[in-house]
Amino acid sequence: MATTDSLIVDSIMSALGDSTEYAVLHNEILIARGEPTSDIDVVVKDSPVDVVARLQATLAADHIYLVMLWNYDVGCWTSFWSRSPRLGGVQLDMWRDPEGRGRYGVYTDLLLEHREEGTLYYRLDRLAELAYLVRKRYVKGWWDQLPEL
């Protein structure tokens, strides 16, 4: 991915809210400020493939197009959206694993039960966000990042 285009983040997040129940997994405040640190990670109620199809139909009206879709774990899909790949875009990672069969072993429907309104978008409440981040960093071996939580 070139860079995150904060100008199209709001269009994507608005379309996402019209397409499914979702929650941003972490850094919602940075995304709302137009300062995403990298990709946007969300948990979704519906199949990510179905959500992508709905997003394509909606975002085409804003000249935002799907460039890439890739499945990287049970229920986890990376999508990259752009007006022009040369100018960057937005990487949106969507996750739906209600049985916790994937790498993180997390029941995503349980996470969605802990969603709340954030600055601009739905997010996990603090306890659910911490649980997710601890699990993610543990699985990835990012031990040095655990104390900052």
pLDDT of residue 35: 84
Residue 12 is inside which H or E element, if any? helix 6-19
Q: How far is CA 112 from CA 45, 82, 102, 133, in A?
A: 7, 27, 17, 15
pLDDT of residue 42: 98
HSE toward the beta carbon, residue 50, CA cutoff 13 A: 10
Q: pLDDT per position in the chain (149 positions), as tens?
A: 446 788 899 999 999 999 999 999 999 999 999 887 789 999 999 999 999 999 999 999 999 999 999 999 999 999 999 998 677 899 999 999 999 999 999 999 999 999 999 999 999 999 999 999 999 888 888 888 777 76
pLDDT of residue 68: 94
pLDDT of residue 1: 41
Classify residue 38 by its DSSP letter: S
pLDDT of residue 14: 95
Strands 76-82 and 65-73: antiparallel
pLDDT of residue 3: 64
> 98 near 45, Cβ under 8 Å?
no
Classify residue 89 by its DSSP letter: B
pLDDT of residue 149: 66
pLDDT of residue 121: 97
Q: Where are the beta strands (DSSP E) in 13-124?
A: 22-24, 40-44, 65-73, 76-82, 90-95, 115-117, 122-124
pLDDT of residue 2: 47
